[in-house]
Structure 1
Amino acid sequence: MTALVLAALAWLLLHVVVAGPLRPGLIVRMGLPTYRGLFSALSAAALAALIWTYGSAPYIELWPTTSALAAVPVVVMPVALLLLVGSLRASNPTSAGPDMLMRGRNEELPVRGFTRITRHPMLWAFTLWAGSHMIANGDVATMILTGVILVTSVNGMFSIDRKRAAEFGDKWQRFIDKTSIFPFAAAAAQRVTLRFSDIGWINIIGAAALYAIFLWAHATLFGVPAYYP
């Protein structure tokens, strides 16, 4: 459990501090490409450490897993996977990397696809995964793992907004005015029109395929079935 706590603290330090207040100074010293490359490598190492230490942590129950609680991720994960698949497009200016394509251009940031639902679809996918599994698995190790993912995902939404505001200025503010952090809030407020084509059959089929794979392979990959009544 100590190793898992240390891995969780390293993950938090990297994503809240290094990617937060330390980021501007580090970019000045090493340059943006080097910073991004190093940050990606450290993130991969920290994630691997989280997964490995979680698998080795003792099971300490906080509450029993009931069939009702186990059903929560089964219901939530199709939505999370749809948001994840929909976020993987170059037109999404809140993902890591594609914003470089928009730097210096005169056109507005695109509000299409899943950015009409939320401007942070990938981080919402991680948030839903973490929250649903936190409910379903009432043990200390899962609370630590899902807790740090949940905290960094929610913090990342506001952190990305601050970074993009510094990079794009008024262009980003106009993008914010047309979108929302909370899913469907901009559409409900009629700031943007959401069409089925923004979701699309390809994304639905891709998410459904991933969901089927995880249902089938969950026990093999993670040691427990996706649902156990």
Structure 2
Amino acid sequence: MDWLEFVVALLVFMASHAVPALSGIKGALVSRLGRGGYGAVFGVISLLLLWWVIAAAGRAPFVSIWDQQIWMRWLINLVMPLVMLLICLSVGAPNPLSFGGRAEGFDPARPGIAGVVRHPLLWALLIWSLVHMLVNGDLAHVILFGLFALYAAVGMAMIDGRLRRKWGADVWVTRASATSNLPFGGNWRSYRPGWSRPVIAIVIWAGLLHLHLPVIGVSPLP
């Protein structure tokens, strides 16, 4: 019973991402709310459920697997601004090869952020999950962030496979030829992002750093 809230929160969070797509609910809501409206509603619900599952992990019985070290806190504080930058450079950018991007304006020869890495949002989730698992070495958090990391890693291969089947192998290879699943494995040298998204990333990162203690209940500072 001590684990009940964590298990329920985790199952609800996972179901909220799987059920809409598998059941056809997503398509119905997109046609009703529009893609932007659905994205906004789904984003808010996802953030609230993410807060719940993280809070539930903190209330689960503490079973230590490894001890936290000070260098782990330094590492996560160095990495998280890069994670936020990757997110802000990705959302709405020309990249039909992964979710969060758009088809309009995409040039396979100069793929933009997709030339840095094909699935930037999933890489952001993967890095976020791994560094948070590192600094939270108890069983509940290892399960939580380990599942997020697994979801991100498997999701990259699943999206590639789905688009290859949808477009056909030749079209997929043409569109993905200058990209890579590994960071900086594609044509990233031609990428010239503007200043607005990095500035937004810094502002959001600073806000999250400030809100981490009152919202999550733990200071992220070393």
Bucket of the pairwise TM-score, normalised by the shorter protein: 0.7 to 0.9
Query: What are the Cα deviations for residues 55-79 of structure 1, in whole angstroms up to 9, with x where unaligned?
Result: 4323332222121111121111111
| Paired position in structure 1 for 2:72 | 69
| Paired position in structure 2 for 1:141 | 140
Measured on the aligned residues, the alpha-carbon RMSD in Å equals 3.3
Is the counterpart of residue 226 in structure 1 residue 220 in structure 2? yes
**Number of equivalences:** 209
| Paired position in structure 1 for 2:167 | 168
**Structure 2 counterpart of 1:3, from 5, 8, 24:** 5
| Residue pair 2:111, 2:178 contacting (<8 A) in 1 also | no
| Paired position in structure 1 for 2:129 | 130
Q: How does 1:29-108 map to 2 (within 5 A)?
A: 33-34=27-28, 44=46, 47=50, 50-93=53-96, 94-96=98-100, 98=102
Summarize the Cα distance change of 1:183–1:127 in structure 2 as closer, same or farther, 3 Å threshold: same
| Residue pair 2:55, 2:216 contacting (<8 A) in 1 also | no
How far has the Cα of 1:8 moved from its partner?
Answer: 3.2
Summarize the Cα distance change of 1:123–1:87 in structure 2 as closer, same or farther, 3 Å threshold: same
Code of the residue aligned with 2:180 in structure 1: it is S
Q: How does 1:112-123 map to 2 (within 5 A)?
A: 112-123=111-122
| Residue pair 1:12, 1:148 contacting (<8 A) in 2 also | no
Aligned-residue identity in percent: 28
Structure 1, unaligned runs of 5 or more: 187-191
How far has the Cα of 1:114 moved from its partner?
Answer: 1.0
Q: How does 1:141-220 map to 2 (within 5 A)?
A: 141-169=140-168, 170-186=170-186, 192-195=187-190, 197=192, 199-220=193-214
- Structure 1: how far apart are the matches of 2:101 and 2:175? 17
Query: What are the Cα deviations for residues 96-141 of structure 1, in whole angstroms up to 9, with x where unaligned?
Result: 5745x69xxxx86584321110110011111111001111111122
- Structure 2: how far apart are the matches of 1:110 and 1:128? 27
| Residue pair 1:86, 1:113 contacting (<8 A) in 2 also | no
**Bigger mean CA deviation after superposition, 66-75 or 55-64:** 55-64
Summarize the Cα distance change of 1:18–1:165 in structure 2 as closer, same or farther, 3 Å threshold: farther
Does the residue aligned with 2:86 lie in a helix, a strand or coil?
Answer: helix
How far has the Cα of 1:184 moved from its partner?
Answer: 0.4
- Structure 1: how far apart are the matches of 2:12 and 2:194? 38
Does the residue aligned with 2:180 lie in a helix, a strand or coil?
Answer: coil
Code of the residue aligned with 1:177 in structure 2: it is S
Code of the residue aligned with 2:75 in structure 1: it is V
- Structure 2: how far apart are the matches of 1:87 and 1:68? 29
- Structure 2: how far apart are the matches of 1:154 and 1:193? 21
Structure 2, unaligned runs of 5 or more: 31-37
| Residue pair 1:111, 1:175 contacting (<8 A) in 2 also | no
**Bigger mean CA deviation after superposition, 175-184 or 87-96:** 87-96
| TM-score, normalised relative to structure 1 | 0.75
How far has the Cα of 1:14 moved from its partner?
Answer: 6.8
| Residue pair 1:74, 1:226 contacting (<8 A) in 2 also | yes
How far has the Cα of 1:208 moved from its partner?
Answer: 1.5
